[in-house]
Amino acid sequence: MSKALKVAVVGVTGAVGQEMLRVLEERNFPVAELVPVASARSAGRTVTFRGEAHTVRALTPEVFQGVDVALFSAGGSTSKEHAPVAAAAGAIVIDNSSAFRMDPDCPLCVPEVNLEAARSPKKGIIANPNCSTIQMVVALKPVHELGGLKRVVVSTYQAISGAGAQAIDAFLKQSADVVNGREPSGLEKLKGQLAQNLLMHWTVDAATGYQEEELKMVHETKKIFGDPSIQVSPTCVRVPVVSGHSESISVETHRPVKVADVRAALEKMDGVVVVDDFVHGVYPQPKDCVGKDPVFVGRIREDVGNPGGLQMWVVADNLRKGAATNAVQIAEGLFL
């Protein structure tokens, strides 16, 4: 690293933007100058970084002058309009929205899996995958290396923090309503009653019957591994948990793999913590992963219903590894 960097965080007042600041600080990323950016209505507010207050700037082309890295977490429409502007100004853009994920000229990167893909982005824009995809492909990397992924069947149990800070507030109020026997509030914001319930409320693709969230996992997994033949069968579910996504994953491989070999490979991986003593009740739980960067993997076992297959249970903090941490790790991989 030859110099400290000028870093812009776009969408800095949102849940992921705030997490990006924490991750940059905790991981001691070499920020020489922070440029906090948000919408015009948030301009003038202050955010704290390394103990100092910084004034939030409105999102205009001028904010990207001299910026080395621009971390975007402000939604797809904002990214489509402003990420190319930041890249044209000379910044490396790492975008957390879905705007550029399937663009063939924009790498889709999870550093533990395919950092090399991000080395020379043609448009200067690198896409952060969907939160549920990120933790899955990290856990599947050694399986793919050992046996070649043939088919992945995954069910997700996704926390409400993935829908943003306002959704968290709505969920907490709704939970209090239900506990106290009141009519549940926040039905519109949460797209139903999540308190003491489960929802499948992402945008539905009428042609397939799948949700947009599910189709992201299908297409992103193929792109990240560079293998369009991998079959992915997903079901995504929103659960009454504030933070921490969980996934039940069943895997078929082209070549036989041993559970012991997969466990050993996962134990050696950077960014993975194996928590796997199910006989004694030890397995990854969302409450234990909040505020932490690794992907936690447990219940690694042979698939009793599909001899030769594997099953595992994967948990991660969706605001950190599923968003902010992954973005910062991409920047670390490129600049440090």
Q: Which residues are catalytic?
A: 131, 245
Amino acid at residue number 11: G
Query: To which residue do tokens 């002058």 refer?
Result: 65
Query: Do the Cβ atoms of 149 and 139 come closer than 8 Å?
Result: no
- Could you give the CA distance from residue 77 to residue 153 in angstroms, rounded to a whole number? 31
- Could you give the CA distance from residue 275 to residue 313 in angstroms, rounded to a whole number? 10
Angle in degrees, CA 60, 74, 100, rounded to 5: 100
- Could you give the CA distance from residue 83 to residue 72 in angstroms, rounded to a whole number? 8
Q: What b/e readout covers 148-168, taking b as 16+ CB neighbours within 10 angstroms?
A: bbbbbbbebbbbbbbbbeebb
Bridging pattern class, strands 57-58 and 52-55: unpaired
Alpha-carbon Rg for the chain in angstroms? 20
Count how many residues are written for the chain: 336
